Structure 1
Amino acid sequence: MTRLQPFISRFPVLPLLVTLLSGSGTGLADSRDVTDRPNFVVVFTDDQGYQDLGCFGSPDIKTPHLDRLAGQGARFTDFYSAQAVCSASRAALLTGCYPNRIGIQGALGPKSRHGINKNEWTIAEVLKTRGYATAIYGKWHLGHHKPFLPTRHGFDDYFGLPYSNDMWPYHPGVAHLPMAERLKRWPHLPLFDKEKIVNPR
């Protein structure tokens, strides 16, 4: 759990998919020095409204670390969501494709058998061809079976959750059941370090 501590202390209230792409790779595809190449940090959150960050005008929610990142980097102020739901929006961000076109709709769960298509290029795979080292920390949500894990789609390192199961006990289809019974219906939430589950039951 120690690898997550820096992220938890910085972002204690946001469920995050933090994708870190650093320009420290070797074998660069062009002649520019590594220090001339930009680093990319993509912070992808669930259920966040436009004004939920201080840098976008939130009077109530304090986000000083994210505000500082926004002040030192690029802020995107004109954007669209291909689908306003977990897996589909992640698929769109990572591939640049409409999620329905590549077979990802809605939110994948622990019983899902599919995931991100092996033939789709992710932004991580593209950046690796340019000599970048890549990593993802947080929720992946694009398939939890080995062929779909981030390490099979261009990410050198992965530490996080394959999906979330915190919302399933509140699904309308089980709302009539006692909470203890609802929780029994969903499997243990695995924590991955690369391709290994580090919190087995």
Structure 2
Amino acid sequence: MSAAETATTSPNLIVIFTDDQGYEDLGYFGAPKIKTPHIDRMANEGMRFTDFYVANSVCSPSRAALLTACYPDRVGIPNILFPGQSLNPEETSIVDLLKAKGYANMCVGKWHIGHKPERLPTRHVFDAYYGIPYSNDMELDPTAIFIISCPSRIPLSL
């Protein structure tokens, strides 16, 4: 199979990672008040995972575990991160592995595993980042939400 054929047969991957979400917090799973039509459509057209397990119940270690496939303690993030702390960008992540297979990628939303410029998602192999460094900065001016080095080949509108 040629590289072009492989590229056309590789699935699109969208990982939606949220904090404190319950099973019925999405329309597809029965939320009576919260309308999530776009996520519902993705659930109808794609693969759904109905059993949820996390390496930690707190956002920073859980995000680090998802990215690295390691226990949070192994990558030095056993608890929520505070300013000055971060995931080491030298850790191999799922993003590294997907990028090696030709996937374009983007991180959107709350990062919360390092807030300094050298620790933001684009330093962890992400092609682009649109979001906030952590969620205890919600009182910042709305212009704090930013786009960093987004190549024109990556669509921003999902």
Alpha-carbon distance in structure 1 between the residues aligned to 2:117 and 2:43 = 34
Deviations 1:129-169 (A, max 9, x none): 001111111111110123321111110111111111158xx
Point out where structure 2 has 5 or more consecutive residues left out of the alignment. Answer: 150-158
Q: Unpaired segments of 5 or more residues in structure 1?
A: 1-28, 168-182, 196-201
Structure 1 residues 50 and 192, CA gap change in structure 2 (3 angstroms): same
Give how far 1:77 is off: 1.4
Counterparts of 1:6-155 in structure 2, within 5 Å, are: 32-109=5-82, 112-155=83-126
**1:1-23: CA deviation from partner (whole Å, max 9, x where unpaired):** xxxxxxxxxxxxxxxxxxxxxxx
Name the TM-score, length of structure 1 as normaliser.
0.65
Higher relative contact order (CA 8 A, sep 6+): 1
Structure with max Cα Rg: 1
Letter in 2 for 1:134: N
Q: Which residue pairs with 2:130 in the alignment?
A: 159
Report SS of the residue matched to 2:14: strand
% same residue: 54
Q: 1:193 aligns with which of 147, 150, 155?
A: 147
Query: Tell me, what secondary structure is at the counterpart of 1:45?
Result: coil
Residues 32-87 of structure 1: CA deviation (Å, up to 9, x unaligned) = 33221111111112221111112222233222221111111111112311111211
Task: Give CA-to-partner distance per residue, 1:74-116, whole Å, 9 cap, x none.
Answer: 111123111112111111111111112211133224xx21211
The structure whose residues are more often strand, as a share, is 1
Runs of 4+ in 1 over 4 A off after TM superposition: none
Conserved? CA contact 1:91–1:142, under 8 Å: yes
Amino acid at match of 1:103: G
Map of 1:169-188 to 2, 5 A cutoff? none
The number of equivalent residue pairs is: 147
